[in-house]
Every structure is written in structure tokens, then in C-alpha cells.
Homo-oligomer: A and B are copies of this chain.
Amino acid sequence: MQINPNNPIGVFDSGVGGLTVVRALMERLPFEHIEYFGDTARVPYGVKSVETIAHYTTQIAQFLLERQVKLLIIACNTMASVSAQVVRDLSPVPVLDVIEAGALAALAASQSRRIGVIGTPTTINSNAYARAIHEVEPDARVVSQACALFVPLVEEGWLDHPVTRLTAQEYLKPVLAERVDTLVLGCTHYPLLKPLLADVTGPQTTLVDSAEAMAERTAALLTDLNLHTPARAPADYHFHVTDVPLRFQTIGERFLGRSLNNVHVVKW
């Protein structure tokens, strides 16, 4: 199959969190068109079963493939951790996922090979980050911690709040006790907590933002496959969501870091 470099990049997530990946892509690759899909009616995925997540993931990937994307980016850690292979099996275009991007960035950043990973319960229980890190570096020590409350705290807007700080201290205590030198923010919501988490972990720990890691991986892949768009005009961005919930615009813009236009509702 011949892939057209003018085609958009497809990015998907269970909700608005993947907009942190879109934001990083807009900054790193400003001429690339992007089609985003956020399954806002069925979010969050982090508490659903593996079968249900695989079923929803397939539906979304097919939607974006019908829109002629040149590349699929799984921006949702939960989907990447339990159903990346499902997407790779069905996709005629390349597939990147945040887990792989985050794991590789962590390995590049870590000196001590002691790496912490935080994410939703489903992501952590899937053990996908540890597997991805161990594939490259079998001797690395990976300390994982589920942080179920971070997503609701971010969505409440308590980005720098005593409750969030106390919650972070509680979750990170066992991780820091293992003297990790790198901490992977294994959920697209967590970049918004970066300043607070940096405060809690201290300067001796490098935080790996998987949105930024993904933008780097995407740029490298487009170069490898000669798929950068030749266009030098402003890019088109389209945002497909399954619901427009309360405060969607506010929360979405907080993630995207700019105004959110071209929002299309898909009813399934």
C-alpha cells in the first residue's frame, strides 16, 4: 500500500487526555494534519475489562482508517497496554503507541536503570511498561504504581492543590523508596501534574512525559518512512468525540493548551 504523505495523522484516546499528545505533535510537527478521536461517551477505559477495551479500540481505529490517516497513534496508555496488538493486526498503516514511546524515552533518560512508572490501575496491572522496558534492557528495575485518583484530580482542575500534593506523596512513597532516577508519567493526563510531581519527586528524578516522547517518536518515524507532509500551509485539525460532556471545552482546552475548534460528535 502506497501511503500519501499529505494524509493526516490519526491520534486516539479514551477521552480528552490524548490532547496532550496532539499538543506535543502540533509543536513538534506544525504542518501535519491531525484527526483526533476521543471516546468521551465511554471514558474512562482504565476501569474496564480487557475484552471491552479491545472491542472499543477496534471500532476507533477503523473509524480513523476510513478517514485515510497515514499513521495511527494510540495516545491512551490503557488502550496501548491491552490492545496495541489488535490495532497493529488490523492496520495497513504504521502504528505507534505511547507505551513504547514512554519506555524508550525512559531508557534514554535513566542512568541507574531503576525506573518508576505511574498510570491508571489497568495500565499498571497490564505490566506493559515493564515488558516494553525489559524487552530492551532485561536487567532494568521497574517499580510500578497505580494512581487511580490522578485523572479525576486533573479533571477537577486541582493541578496545584494540597489534596493533589498529599495524594501524590502517598502514591509516590513506595516508588521513591526504591531510589528510581526516572519516573514515566504513564497516562496522558499526568503532564498537567508535572510541576507538582517534580516538586514531590525532587530534582534527582527525571520525569518522562509520554506526550513529548510520542512527538519525538512520530517525527523520527515520518523521517524514516519519508512520510513528512510537503505542505507548508497551516495544518487542519479535526476532533471527533462520542459525546460533548459538561465542561468539555474548558477541560479540552486545558489539555490542548489552545482553543479547541472543529469538534465533531460521532454517535455510536
- Which residues of chain B have C-beta atoms less than 8 A from A158's C-beta? 149
Q: Does A110 contact B (CB under 8 A)?
A: no
Q: Does A52 contact B (CB under 8 A)?
A: yes
* A49 lies within 8 A of B149 (CB): no
Residue of B48, B167, B245 near A48 (CB, 8 A) is B245
Cα–Cα, bound, A6→B52 (Å): 35
Q: Does A125 contact B (CB under 8 A)?
A: yes
- The count of identical subunits is 2
A42-B42, A153-B149, A166-B163 as given contacts; A48 in contact with B121, CB under 8 Å = no
Residue of B52, B149, B245 near A152 (CB, 8 A) is B149
Q: Does A236 contact B (CB under 8 A)?
A: no
* B156 lies within 8 A of A163 (CB): no
Q: Does A244 contact B (CB under 8 A)?
A: yes
Beta-carbon nearest neighbor of A150 in chain B: B152
Which residues A237-251 have CB closer than 8 A to chain B? 243-247
Q: Does A148 contact B (CB under 8 A)?
A: yes
Least CB distance from A261 to B in Å reads: 19
Q: Does A108 contact B (CB under 8 A)?
A: no
Cα–Cα, bound, A148→B149 (Å): 11
* A246 lies within 8 A of B148 (CB): no
Cα–Cα, bound, A77→B175 (Å): 38
Beta-carbon nearest neighbor of A47 in chain B: B245
Which residues A21-63 have CB closer than 8 A to chain B? 40-43, 47-49, 52
Beta-carbon nearest neighbor of A167 in chain B: B163
* B246 lies within 8 A of A122 (CB): yes
Least CB distance from A60 to B in Å reads: 15
Measured CB to CB, the residues of A under 8 A from B are 40-43, 47-49, 52, 121-122, 125, 148-149, 151-153, 155-156, 158, 162-163, 166-167, 170, 243-247
